[in-house]
Amino acid sequence: MIYSKAKQIADSILQELKPHCVRIEIAGSIRRKKTNPNDIEIVAIPKKIEIADGMFDTKKIVHPSFIAIVESWEKVKGEPTGKYTQRILPEGIKLDLFFATVNNWGNIFLIRTGDWEFSKKFMGILLPRKGYKQVGGVLKLNDKVIDCREEIDLFNLAGIKYIEPQKRNGNAI
């Protein structure tokens, strides 16, 4: 698919989900402005609501409106209540929808922006040299969770200058 068409579809999905999210952004090859993206990647922090959980307790769940929208698209795998779901949009393009929290937004957004080689080198080589490791969607230093609210936090931890998404590839670092 050509970039302009993929970007248009991604923007439409973003606008549809945005009212039900704390934060949501386009990632992947579209964020990197690749000529021919073959899918749409979006990172989101869905809003949650509290519901009764027993007589005195409550629990937070993903907002039902968010779930309903995502479930309206053909499911390939994953759930809108997990860490990731893959769907086929009515236009026939694949949507990879990744879920983050306020505290791990930066690392999920960086990883899912890619490209694959860049993310692998950044998270698997560059940060480990500084003592950090990625475990289950969070960054850790000596088993202590390190909040990464923005991508720039990771670049600062790695001790390198921010690299624009369009320039991210395996040779960028």
Domain 105-167, architecture per CATH:
2-Layer Sandwich (3.30)
Structure letter (DSSP) for residue 62 = E
pLDDT of 61 reads 85
Q: For the full predicted model, state whether its pTM sits above 0.85.
A: yes
Res 75 pLDDT > 80: yes
For the chain, residues classed under CATH 3.30.460.10 are 3-99
- CATH 3.30.210.10 boundaries in the chain: 105-167
| Identity of the residue numbered 7 | K
- Taking alpha carbons only, the member of 62, 60, 63, 80 closest to residue 71 is 80
pLDDT above 90 (res 82): yes
| pLDDT tens column, 110-147 | 999 999 999 999 999 999 999 999 998 999 999 999 99
Q: Please name the residues in contact with 99: beta carbons below 8 A apart, sequence gap of 6 or more.
A: 43, 44, 45, 46, 82, 83, 84, 108
For residues 46 and 80, is the Cβ–Cβ distance under 8 A? yes
Mean pLDDT of the chain: 95
| 3-class SS of residue 171 | coil
Residue 29: predicted pLDDT: 98
pLDDT above 90 covers what percent of the chain?
Answer: 90
Can you name the CATH fold of 3-99? Answer: Beta Polymerase; domain 2 (3.30.460)
Question: Which tens digit of pLDDT belongs to each residue from 63-72?
Answer: 999 999 999 9
Sorting pLDDT into bands at 50, 70 and 90, what band is 173? Answer: confident
Q: Which residues of 118-140 are buried (b: 16+ CB within 10 A; e: fewer)?
A: bbebbbeebbeeeebebeeebbe
Q: Please say whether the dihedral angle defined by the alpha carbons of residues 111, 117, 120 and 125, taken in this order, is positive or negative.
A: negative
For 6-61, the pLDDT digits (tens) are 999 999 999 999 999 999 999 999 999 999 999 999 999 999 988 877 767 778 88
CB 40 within 8 A of CB 89: yes
